[in-house]
Amino acid sequence: MAKGFPAFRRADTARYLAILILILSTIGFQVAASDSEWARLVIVLLASGTLYLALSVGGIHGAVDRILLALIVVAVAVSVIALAGFATLGQFDAQLINLLLIAFAPIAIVVGVLSDMRARSRVTVRTVIGVLSVYLLIGLIFTFLFGIIGSQASTAFFKYGVADNSSNYLYFSYSTLTTAAPSAFARSSHARATASASLPSIVTFTL
């Protein structure tokens, strides 16, 4: 019953907006910042905040909630320790941590959106924000996947002398969400296969 009151609806909308802002901040930061340890820490913090709020809007509880909250704490702790100089946070480590943090967020948001639509019996502003957030998160998931592949490959990820960095992985990811053509820029077969899988994934989601 509480969710029917305007104050609670405004709080829910604020959480959805916060998720979208965190996602856009993650995207913008990856474009603007260099591949350094402090930048990786910031992205881990943004991804952690995104997952935390996604769990909130999805109403995820029980063992899954506790496991993912523990993941958030561990991810932030490892990143802070690395920034303090007690360990190193390489590109592979950071990309893997971010992938683990981001991977469940779209599921939680979809659960929250469906619950909201059932409760309101209509499409709301939260529905629109939630769907947009999931689309952007799918792009980030493939961004981190490309980063993992690139960090472990013996050859360059891209052809034609394109640098292997977070900004280019990000651009490549969102490009392949809308067309299969950019996959031709990937050098290895693993990279091309992952890029080719991104378009069907977003088509499946929109259907």
Residue 187 has pLDDT above 60, yes or no: no
Reported confidence tier of residue 85, pLDDT bands at 50, 70, 90: confident
Short-list 133, 136, 146, CA closest to 197: 146
- Give the per-residue pLDDT at 145: 87
Reported confidence tier of residue 194, pLDDT bands at 50, 70, 90: low
Q: Tell me which of 10 and 7 has the higher pLDDT.
A: 10
**Rounded percentage of the chain residues whose pLDDT exceeds 90:** 32
Listed range (6-15, 97-106, 127-136, 197-206) with the worst mean pLDDT: 197-206
Q: Report d(CA 55, CA 204) in Å as an integer.
A: 23
* Span between the terminal Cα atoms of the chain, in Å: 31
- Residue 80 phi/psi, 5-degree rounding, is -65, -40
Please list the residues that pair with 186 across neighbouring strands: 158
**Rounded percentage of the chain residues whose pLDDT exceeds 70:** 76
Q: Tell me which of 60 and 180 has the higher pLDDT.
A: 60
Question: What is the pLDDT of the chain when averaged over all its residues?
Answer: 79
Quick one: tokens of 8?
């609670």
Short-list 99, 22, 5, CA closest to 56: 22
Give the pLDDT confidence of 27-60 residue by residue, as tens digits: 998 888 777 778 888 899 999 999 999 999 988 8
Quote helix, strand, coil % in the chain, to nearest 5: 80, 0, 20
Residue 195 has pLDDT above 80, yes or no: no
Please list the residues that pair with 158 across neighbouring strands: 186
AA identity, residue 71: L
Give the pLDDT confidence of 122-160 residue by residue, as tens digits: 888 889 999 999 999 998 998 898 888 877 766 766 665
- Give the per-residue pLDDT at 200: 46
Q: Report d(CA 154, CA 168) in Å as an integer.
A: 18
- Give the per-residue pLDDT at 136: 92
